[in-house]
Amino acid sequence: MSAIFYHDAEQKQLAVTTRDKHQKHLARPIATVITKALPFYNAENYHQKYQLRHYPKVLDALNLTDEELITSPVACRLNGYLGGFGTTDAFLEEKDSFGLPDHLASYILKEIGKRHR
């Protein structure tokens, strides 16, 4: 599910305005739900970075505790790339900031390429 959670009227208006602006360029309706943010609870550990968990050698190389995995920007970005979000060009632009060994970055790059065929 795609959703935008807002905390106040200004955030809601920004979300609605942005959605409506982009909708003008699309044939299909945008399905993203815009709704008020309610209390947030972290999912169980086995749900954290779900896509990344399908790549144990990447996950193991990060060497993060369950708590660190939740808040790690690197784990978040890699989870997105390995989940099919992001292009090889975008990955190449930021891969050096991830601090990964070259062989692992190459592996991830190949996996991203498989998703965009």
Mean per-residue pLDDT for 11-27?
A: 96
Domains contained in the chain, number: 2
DSSP three-state, residue 6: strand
- The parent domain of residue 30 ranges over 3-36
Evaluate whether 33 touches 6 at the Cβ level (below 8 Å): no
116 confidence band (pLDDT: 50, 70, 90): low
Residue 101 has pLDDT above 80, yes or no: yes
Same domain, 97 and 52: yes
Give me the sign of the Cα torsion angle 48, 38, 1, 74. Answer: negative
Q: Cα(29)–Cα(44) distance, rounded to whole angstroms?
A: 33
Mark whether 30 and 63 lie in a shared domain: no
Yes or no: say if 82 and 61 are a contact pair by the CB < 8 Å rule.
no
Binned at pLDDT 50, 70 and 90, residue 6 comes out as: very high
Do residues 50 and 105 share a domain?
A: yes
Q: What is the dihedral of CA 29, 42, 57, 75, to 10 degrees?
A: 70
pLDDT by residue (tens digit) across 45-71? Answer: 888 999 999 999 999 999 999 999 999
51 lies in the same domain as 107: yes
Residues 50 and 24 in one domain: no
**Residue 115: pLDDT above 90?**
no
Check whether residue 30 and residue 67 sit in a common domain: no
